[in-house]
Structure 1
């Protein structure tokens, strides 16, 4: 069994995540030695700053349990996806760049943020978060009229993180002054099981990730959030491309201790074979449906943890509970 197969099996069989020790809470962004950083403008000022503001930035108005929530969702508020514009690290909390930017965004996973909470179950959650981040960038670019193309582009690990995807932007970053890109301060390692799986994944070939962003407004991107558990009631939802079912108690019993999902009006499912790219695509597909539901004024809540959950002969990879 390969390292990836071992990690996916640990999640599928509900391996014990272990204790969540608050004293070991890892930082949710990269840390750098003191030095200059470039402030970015926010939407509606056009350009790179607006794109990042609508896709990956921390939301100045939302903070829960000491965690600054962001435009992009993340399981457990762990935010393991780092973004680089060329060599420049993007800090989503301060909305700044560390280093001179380029017009290609590289997304890298820093797994210890997620393994701190999910332990050996973390690999699918990490890949779903990567899919959500890709979809958030592509949708923001589409909304702003910026050409963008995503590719799964695994690279060797560096500084304790795993670069796995890129988004090339049809956007000029202008002339940038020559300046060194600072190296981040070190962070603690993740679980060996997950590190081994991501190291193996870093050798996989590049693969295009074609995707059709939803036609939504900047306001939808700003207001997307995780609601309390949706309830039953009539809803109208645009075509979303996922499998829509009425949730059952049996399926809720496979959702890692989330029985409340059985009370939702609909459960939108992404199913398929348990392969890394399918989890990334599932994150992108659920993100699209989430934005469409937000635009329709509906309550939604993602469900990314599944233990031995099947539908129609395929594994459940990701889901979205929807209600009025």
Structure 2
């Protein structure tokens, strides 16, 4: 996999989000007894990781989970070494797990959301730091992109791979694997579960279907999803927040993007947005609960609702 070949013959897909890209690496890792596997995409901006579970099998952890692990580790490392800056900040995108906010705020950091994409994360970092309003120690999005330090104002697999390796070594020194570390994070901060659905709408009328879906949701905001009451409707197009019970309207900081978000009475956030590059609508489910089983149940329930949007 190190020989340069633009056809990428050794992988089904040269994408760190897809476990298929790790097949050859898993074989080598088993032979060498490796603790974990890192894989980047060809332009080295995103990185995926596989870790050993309790049974000694290599399993993927998601971009959401990897970011939470890194954020928790970086906070601990900076606190241990006395390198935590004044007004420390973490950044994430609106579709990235709310667990990142919990980790940040429980440790005294501010956490800000931006729209998806590192041009927004890097811009927010720049604005905060120039205004003296905070120092960003970590920024990430759920699609396997991480930005550390001031080396690159973009997602970068090189610095992320270095940080992941350092983190794995530190946990190994504590007698823990990264799988153990993730479990410890859930025990400490609570259980979170996420899922992204791609509702593909191909054909000549695909774009019209996408526009009709978004217009319909704006025209008739759902009072409930999957039998759960909606507390708030958020529209990132005009930056409005509407209280579903009273109709009271307020404004949020972000606006100017075709994204809808529903805050549910069970603590789940459901986000709907059309893809800017492909004929599909993306639905993000961000759940939390007292256990993994409760999170899984919530995710399954909202998945069924999301899939009904295609009809």
The TM-score normalised by the length of structure 2 is 0.29
Task: Report which of the two structures shows the higher radius of gyration computed on alpha carbons.
Answer: 2
Compare the two structures and name the one with the higher helix fraction. Answer: 2
User: Larger RCO: Structure 1 or Structure 2 (Cα < 8 Å, ≥ 6 residues apart)?
Assistant: 1
Compare the two structures and name the one with the higher strand fraction. Answer: 2
The TM-score normalised by the length of structure 1 is 0.28
